[in-house]
Each structure stands twice: as C-alpha cells, then as structure tokens.
Chains A and B, each alone.
Chain A
C-alpha cells in the first residue's frame, strides 16, 4: 500500500526555528530519507516552497484564472510531503514516527488509493 505523509506548519513556526540549526536539521532529514530510500519504502520526499509562492488555479471560460494561495483562510499549510510504499499501515506509522520533525509537528498520514504516474 502506498502512503503519503505530510508535515504542516505556519510562518510563525518556521520563523521561530533558529537559522543556525538548519544545517543539522537538514542533515537529520537527509539521513532519514537515505535510510528509507535504502529499504525501498520511500518513493519520494518533497519540500514545498513558502506559502507566499502558492497559487490557487481555477478555470474560467476555458482559461486558467490564478490567484494567491494557499487555500483561502488557511492558517496551516503543507511544508513537505513524502510518498512511501509499505507492507502495512503499522509500518507506515512506524516510519512516520521516525521522521526527524515528528516530535515537534504531527505527521499526517494518508493511504493512497489511486495513481496514474508511470513510475508508481
């Protein structure tokens, strides 16, 4: 079963994270990614750009109509997401709990039902 795991946050949280702590945080995250890529369970890990760059796209009269995102009134938004392929839900939960940020931010875990990408 595939699972998508997401970490949410907001600007105040990111701002409060000390700049000099980033190298270590990145190293821990890289180690996590490497570990589960090795087991074949991590299919992809993606960090998103700042919410200031998020856009909302609709279609109006056949043409894209773009406004600023994230979703209106959203206080918390996705910071990064991971795609796992796991034996069981328990295993997925185990991995999610192993994420470096899991002791600071809860990780949202969703089973993936459908996929259309060629490499999935």
Chain B
C-alpha cells in the first residue's frame, strides 16, 4: 500500500472509531465496522483517488457497515434493537463531515483510555491499543508478538467482551481516575516501544516496527495533552533511545553495548528533538520517572564520545529516579553510575546489596554488570566467570553471544 495512504489511515483510525463509539456506544461492533472501512479505503483510495474529506468518508462507510451489521443481525433474529436503524440514514451521513477538532481530540484520548481499561491484563491492553488506536490488523499484531493469529484474535475479542460487560461508556474518566488511567496508557505505550526496541530487528515483522508505532501514538498523546510532563517525558525517552538504534547492532546482528557504539551513526535529528522536548519539560515541575529516564538518555546522547559522558549528572538523576520510582533495575543502573564516578569498588559494594535478593542475584543483568565492574577493577578471572554466568542466564541470542565472547576474551588472557 501507498505509504501516504497508510499513514493517513492510521492517523484517522482512532478519530473515526472514537466518533462511531461516541455515537453508537457498542465498542466491538464499531471496531469491526471501522476495520472494514479502513480496508475499503486501502483498496479504493490508491486506485480511485483520495476523497475530499477522508475522515468523513471513513465515518460514512463505517457507519454504513455498522448499520449493515445490525440489519443482518436483525434479519436473523427478526426482532428488537431497532435503535440504530431508527436513526435516519441522512442524519448519520450528514453528521459525518462535521470536523469538530475539539471532539476529535477527546475521542482519540478517550479511546486510548478505554483500551487501557483497568479490567484488562497488560497484554490485552497492548493488543487492543494497537488494533483500535493504531489501526494494525490482528495478523500484524500477532506477527509482532510472535503468537499465532488465532491466539491474538481470541485475546482481542476477549478484551472487547470485557469492555462490553464492564459497560464503560466512551468518555473521559473522572478527574480522580484520570491520573491513574493516564499512567496505564503511558505504561502500555512504553511496553509497545520496548517490545520493538528489544526485538533484534524489525525486518521480520509484517507490522511496522513496533517502536515506530509507539512513538507515533505517544506523539499523538503528547499533542492531546501538551501540558502533561510524563507524556512529554515518555516521548522524549523514546526519541532519545530510538536515536541509537542504527548503532546498536553490528553487521552480524550482534549487540553493541552503549559504550562501544559508533556514535556517528546515532540519529542526530531524533536526539535534537528529544533533548529540546525534555529540556522544555523538566523545569515545569512535577518530575516523574519517564522524564528522569529521558534526562538520563539525553546526557548519554549528548556525549560525543563515551569518555565525555557526564557521569556525575547521571548519578544524580539515578538518585532522583530511585526516590521517585524505586526498583532493583534502577539500583543496578545507579551502581554503574556510582562506579563511573567513585570507582568500580564502590559500584560493586552497591551491587552486593542487590545480591541478597535471590531472584535478582541470578538475573543476567546483575551478573553482566558485576562482570563489567570486575573487569574495570582488573579482576579478569572473576570478570570472565561472571560474564560466562551472565551469558548462560540471558535468553536473548545476540546478548548471549556478546557476553560469551567477552568471557572468552578475558579467559584467553589468563596466565
């Protein structure tokens, strides 16, 4: 499909679905109707040209599909539910073209909130968001998460059923729920981004790379809520992280750690945009974990060379992050910063605290961090063993090869 058409369709998908759900209320039926209208547009527009009002066209077609659905349902059941049909066709169609930007805004946002419904599990929220807001097909989502299409179809239809039985209407949550629901939305976007970023390569996906999709949706969220610091922070974090993607893997698909990346291959445009965004956002107050992580990413990205990295500033930021959102991974990262500022021995001392947590002690990230700090300390035997243990623990093949080769290199130097 033409990229311009595809982009436009995916941009319009949440607006059209939002408009339909607001009007007719039945989420699952509306969603099917919108998918059909998107498909029709994808087939017709490139051949017959773009309609004057693409959004109005989609709403009209989707409304018609919805009415058809209701009608065939009725034909089968032969009774009741005349509500949708009772709406004069002319009214459906005439309202379709009314492009009220304020309504569009709230519809898209309310749709995101609806897809991140508290009654849904995280995987269901992700799947539903990608389908309803992102406009991806079930097959694309299934391919991206490496599950059979039938499994994903089931997950999505169960999610829609859950929303249906919960009876939540499409409207903005009450102020009290707003912050919590926004937190869930941000988390889902973050998970989608990470899924795309951790996968070795987007080349295998039939879906557009998931991180690109996460960035697109987060941009939309940031446009809808320009004053929300965490939405801005998350977008900045994604841009600053994604900027390093071209340098993250070597020619064999092997992992290249941050310190060894060829920084000339980083995407300067994304870095500039991310830095600008986080610099504007941070001073506005109410600093949250996404903003802090974005700030840390910005400090890394700003360094022309790994030795130019401003580690004291990173250490301060990790200290703040640990206060705002403490978790063992943050402590682990802070240990690296401590080592860079106060020496590897200080970093190792901090790691020792984490090692008392049995689950954490066997985590490959803890093992590889310890290996790295031991290497810095010149304890090559211990480092080689720790790298080997880390290699055995990781379940990512490129990471395993990377860690195993570090272990082998150090072991070869043993006398």
Contact = CB atoms under 8 A, between A and B. Distances in A.
B71 to A, nearest CB: 34
A76 interface: no
B400 interface: yes
A118 B148 CA distance: 11
A18 B401 CA distance: 10
B395 A49 contact: yes
Interface string A1-17: 00000000001000100
A87 interface: no
B397 A52 contact: no
A53 B397 contact: no
B258 interface: no
A86 to B, nearest CB: 24
Interface in A6-38: 11, 15, 18-20, 22-23, 26
A53 B252 contact: no
A52 B393 contact: yes
Contacts of B400: 50
Nearest to B362: A52
Contact of A50 (B252, B254, B393, B401): B393
Interface string B383-415: 000001101110101001100110111000000
Contacts of A119: 148
A53 B395 contact: yes
Given A15-B388, A18-B408, A19-B409, A53 B393 contact: yes
Q: What secondary structure prevails in chain B residues at the interface with A?
A: helix
Nearest to B411: A15
Interface string A95-120: 00000000000000000000000110
A19 B397 contact: no
Binding site secondary structure of chain A: helix
Interface in A43-59: 47, 49-53
Interface in B356-396: 388-389, 391-393, 395
B351 to A, nearest CB: 19
Nearest to B409: A19
A52 to B, nearest CB: 4
A30 B395 CA distance: 19
A43 B404 CA distance: 30
A50 B396 CA distance: 10
B409 A52 contact: no
Given A19-B401, A23-B252, A50 B392 contact: yes
Interface string B240-262: 00000000000010100000000
Contacts of A22: 401, 404-405
B258 to A, nearest CB: 20
Interface hub of A15, A18, A20, A47 (most chain B Cβ within 10 A): A15
B200 to A, nearest CB: 12
A14 to B, nearest CB: 8
A19 B393 contact: no
A41 to B, nearest CB: 22
Interface of A: 11, 15, 18-20, 22-23, 26, 47, 49-53, 118-119
17 contacts: A15-B388, A18-B408, A19-B401, A19-B404, A19-B405, A19-B407, A19-B409, A20-B405, A23-B254, A49-B395, A50-B391, A50-B400, A51-B392, A52-B389, A52-B393, A118-B150, A119-B148
